[in-house]
Amino acid sequence: MTGKVIAITGANGALGKIVAEVALARGARLAGIDHTPSQQQATPDHIRIGGVDLSDEMQARQAIKAAASHFGRLDVLVNTAGGFSFETVAEGDAQTWKHLYALNVLTALNASRAAIPYLAATNAGRIINVGAMSALQSAAGMGPYAASKAGVHRLTEALANEWKGRITVNAVLPSIIDTAANRAGMPDADFSKWVTPKELAEVILFLASDAASGITGALIPVGGRT
């Protein structure tokens, strides 16, 4: 990771924070992009770009441009921005479907489209998205979430084929991530079986590395011990 310039969307989230920490520890230069405002001072190796609604195409373009301008280039985009809601189809609200589509699909789409010119210029660019194992076969109450993450899977495959030979595009598919929010929402679960943010970050950063140059269009399940 030494010297690589990585932009992470959702950088203040439970997963994004860990990916950022591990990447910085391994010598990467990092642009953390998030919806929450940031007052953190920029350094030569780290910039925080806050207050960004990535579901808005123009805001996504401005954020990616700011990241690339700060470092002079962009090598990797990691899309961890997203959201979750548990809701049955019959009793739910159509607005939930629109909301999760915006949070999970449009954020990845807009950030990727904005980053492509910079990533293509390196001839070794990387995009890593976060899908979900639950989008491979949905369960009751998972309809809107699974549908939006399935959109991330198809976006990943389409981009991989469109930019083959120039940019690799892959997605990790976690099961349940061991976060404080998930523990609070499922207090009776066996947390030891869940995938940890650190485990997921390791797979993401492998896909961002030079060693993964031959992998593109892959949807990689990261299921922990379930």
Q: Residues 106-150: pLDDT tens digits?
A: 999 999 999 999 999 998 899 999 999 999 999 999 999 999 999
Lowest-pLDDT choice from 27-41, 60-74, 156-170: 27-41
Chain Cα centroid distance, residue 20 = 12
The one-letter code for the residue type at 20 is: A
Pick 5-222's CATH classification: 3.40.50.720, 2.40.430.10, 3.10.20.30, 3.20.20.30. Answer: 3.40.50.720
Give the single-character DSSP code of 106. Answer: I
**What predicted TM-score, i.e. pTM, was given to this entire model?**
0.96
Of 129, 126, 148, residue with least CA distance to 138: 148
* pLDDT tens readout for residues 171-192: 999 998 888 998 898 898 888 8
The one-letter code for the residue type at 81 is: A
CA atoms within 13 A on the CB side of 10: 22
pLDDT of 156: 98
pLDDT of 158: 98
pLDDT of 1: 82
Backbone dihedral angles phi then psi of residue 155, each to the nearest 5 degrees: -60, -45
pLDDT of 178: 87
- Mean pLDDT of the chain, nearest integer: 95
Task: Count each helix (H run) and each strand (E run) in the chain, helices first.
Answer: 7, 7
